[in-house]
Chain A
């Protein structure tokens, strides 16, 4: 590949951006990356200066992003959950929560095999979950693994891979004929392994560009080179480059369905004439093209823009977003881990960004906060290909949030159309908030999954009346109930009558068994109400 002396508009850009470009390959493991400006991290001092409730909101925002959550009774000193926010204190183990999470994500997972065994089994040891018997399992495994894995480097790499594969950057496009779940599996493994081993962004892009998985998504030289220029450089007006780039790739082709959609190279069609693309780059082979793209100065700004769009929502203020991206890029991130660290641990993301949550974010966060555990088929249904009708509604497809499926990835804004959101709402309400575990022994009994009695158990047994209602509010919503909410909910509890005139609740009973039942009923009633609040489905600004 040769540089041309011609300096076009792109060349000017390259010159301007050369200082922030990085060499491909594996950067040193030591992480010295630190963004400043609008992408500055939330400092420990800033975090500690927040009220206890705000700290809980920030902690759960970060954990929700990782499809995790922390229950209120573990985060707070439960003896301070009196119903008065001024009394509320975090538990001793909850100080420095954000930096602890960051440390955990950087910690090597020692016994990873045990988690895999737990998910899928090993020989005679059955796994905890049932997956599709067909080839759909690659779509179902990742969320199950992430659910079971503790925060660790292994978890973080898989989470980053999952996020990337739900964007335009690395979607395996399982929806199209030439791609398959096996492609998703292969890409997920390659990305996860690369990320955990600190491979650079550029090297992962290059490896993907020349992979069969990528060519099953973009299936001809012209298609592939156009999309690589658009996707990794953000250049949507370089139509004149496409024929030239595709000449360099003309010996690459995908076989047909009967031959298994295999990426082949026909030496007889090798190009020998250098082609000038992107104003500055002479390319002769397809590898040249892909290197020109993956090494291009626009790669890092483009990746940052796409990821910020996904984490902040495409509707986030464009000027603030641009400043944030400049700040991220200015710190010279070389790995996806560094890029995500900058975004996720920024004060802007943790405190200020407001956007709808993807289903994985809200569901698993809510689930963790109420000690919810899934049934054995949960992940199969979650990543299934067909809708679940009007029944259980935890299928990402019917919510219009299919995972690793769309050719151009998920749109960086959570779909909230009336149909998709109705499934989303029912998933949170019916499957998490209102599904209580009632049978602890029989795994074949429908009562063996749902939220655990621990949620309202002995640790919070002393919380009564308004304090108890507030405990549920804090646990699920991260805020106290307003006075009007308390008044109305108390009115419902005290006045609800069945059709036969008997009361629905008996909160004044001192009989132990009755109290337990009543506390369950109150919890269900409050959570039914909370499920109807839009704020439950959003990241809301803290303070």
Chain B
């Protein structure tokens, strides 16, 4: 089946769940009838989908926090295994401390060849504690684009077509089509897909049309609530009643606006969605997420730092407070962050260090759980939250004339938590690299050594689908692109680790 047809089938299944439960509960109308979809259509759609995806509901539905490092992060924070060779051939040499072991006069190379002050020491600890794994060979082969846009799209849609739906959208469609928790119109999960970076390619709709409950909503790092309208500005008091039935006036105005806009979804869908989600988000924030995210964190665990730390804390609290949320899109900031073309070393090291401080804080908080307003433990730790951290591509390892790294290819995947998910393997460093390129020239970067395990960035999406029960996720990453007829398989977490020190 073509991906387009497949997506349409998913959309049919998804649209069956748009119906307000109250109608179905009262038996006034069936969900399918209300959606204008016949039983025959729904069965045909399910058949088409079943023929395409091999699905087995996992024992536990995880939550995935997708942290994207816009700009293209260097791999060196997690991989100094080639640094001697790199420095010897670089147009500009690396600082001497980066060429020495940590045991030697404040050197920077950790036992497992990471950059100590660029998060390396923290990663050593987290790997030893089996809180994370490090994959060093995320390598583009089929489309080695070094353009930001092209690479962001392929990494976030999990395929080579820019027209394809984003990873979060595909995941939503799969769950709506297959998973019992998502298929029950009387028990729709609360805000299952959340962006903390505004509009994101991860939620591009492509040709998938999801029902409103499964479309993403966005929150910020402080759980600010602009969703509630200020009732003090209007002429009619919020408690006033209108009409023969003496209904709340504001509700009547809202209903009139909704009615006027009905039938215009094709034209105004995102705004209609945003309006429709307002009350739910208001309730969610004032109720379940009330207060600053920091107030949900036990004092000793509030080690998050910086603006990314606020985002990471909010995402972690969200995952703990609302297990219904299954996918959270998060970024480490704007495009400038990892795009280290000049004077890279100090800024990069500090940034990776801050990233890892916050990842450690997140993992520790997930293991501890949140507290209520009185500071009492809620006893809600989770071992089924996976945090993937990666970018669109890696960078050259040559220090250029501006002492920076230009666009490259090979990069790291830092993956954390989720030890309770079947098949999850933590505490590993996977993949070995070598320097390639001409000495003294700019185009020098690392590449997987012969025989080393490697995978394309699109495999990260496949792995996410796999965690949620898709047994053949490559079927979801072909996108009908002739360059990738077989799609991209999930990461093989069973691959042996590099020997750890």
Interface residues on B, range: 35 or more
Report the Cα distance A177→B350, complex, angstroms.
14
Residues of B within 8 A of A524 (CB): 233-235
The 6 closest A-B pairs by CB, nearest first: A176-B336, A521-B235, A534-B268, A532-B257, A419-B218, A416-B270
Report the Cα distance A83→B144, complex, angstroms.
63
Interface string of B214-227 (1 = CB under 8 A from A): 00111110101111
Residues of A within 8 A of B199 (CB): 400, 411, 415-417, 420
A212 to chain B, nearest CB (A): 13
Query: Are A532 and B336 in touch, CB under 8 angstroms?
Result: no
- With beta carbons under 8 angstroms apart, the residue of B220, B236, B341 that contacts A220 is B341
Known contacts A417-B198, A492-B252, A497-B246; 17 further A-B pairs (Cβ under 8 A): A219-B341, A221-B401, A226-B407, A239-B146, A256-B343, A390-B225, A390-B226, A416-B199, A419-B217, A419-B219, A422-B227, A422-B278, A492-B236, A495-B243, A529-B257, A532-B253, A533-B257
Report the Cα distance A280→B433, complex, angstroms.
37
Residues of A within 8 A of B273 (CB): 418
- With beta carbons under 8 angstroms apart, the residue of A219, A429, A532 that contacts B254 is A532
Q: Assess whether B230 is interfacial by the CB under 8 Å rule.
A: yes
7 CB contacts below 8 A, A to B, read A173-B336, A175-B336, A223-B341, A236-B147, A415-B199, A416-B274, A489-B256
Query: Are A491 and B243 in touch, CB under 8 angstroms?
Result: yes
A479 to chain B, nearest CB (A): 11
Query: Are A488 and B226 in touch, CB under 8 angstroms?
Result: no
B155 to chain A, nearest CB (A): 16
Given A223-B341, A426-B226, CB of A246 within 8 Å of CB of B243: no
A23 to chain B, nearest CB (A): 30
Q: Assess whether A124 is interfacial by the CB under 8 Å rule.
A: no
Report the Cα distance A538→B406, complex, angstroms.
40
Query: Are B407 and A420 in touch, CB under 8 angstroms?
Result: no
Query: Are B256 and A256 in touch, CB under 8 angstroms?
Result: no
- With beta carbons under 8 angstroms apart, the residue of B216, B244, B259, B442 that contacts A243 is B442
Query: Are B274 and A417 in touch, CB under 8 angstroms?
Result: yes
Q: Assess whether B264 is interfacial by the CB under 8 Å rule.
A: yes
Query: Are A408 and B249 in touch, CB under 8 angstroms?
Result: no
A258 to chain B, nearest CB (A): 9
Interface members, chain A 356-391 (any B CB < 8 Å): 356, 387, 389-390
Interface members, chain A 218-275 (any B CB < 8 Å): 218-223, 226, 230, 236-237, 239, 242-243, 246, 250, 253-254, 256-257, 266, 269
List residues of A whose CB falls within 8 A of some B CB: 173, 175-178, 218-223, 226, 230, 236-237, 239, 242-243, 246, 250, 253-254, 256-257, 266, 269, 354, 356, 387, 389-390, 393, 398, 400, 406-408, 411, 415-423, 425-426, 429-430, 434-435, 482, 484-485, 488-489, 491-492, 495-499, 504-505, 520-522, 524-525, 528-529, 532-535, 537-538
Given A175-B336, A239-B146, CB of A499 within 8 Å of CB of B240: yes
Q: Assess whether B260 is interfacial by the CB under 8 Å rule.
A: yes
Query: Are A408 and B148 in touch, CB under 8 angstroms?
Result: yes
Q: Assess whether B418 is interfacial by the CB under 8 Å rule.
A: no
Query: Are A253 and B401 in touch, CB under 8 angstroms?
Result: yes
Given A390-B225, A430-B233, A495-B242, CB of A534 within 8 Å of CB of B407: no
Given A254-B342, A435-B233, A535-B268, CB of A223 within 8 Å of CB of B406: yes
Query: Are A243 and B274 in touch, CB under 8 angstroms?
Result: no
Q: Which of A220, A226, A269, A522 has the most CB atoms of chain B within a 10 A radius of its CB?
A: A220
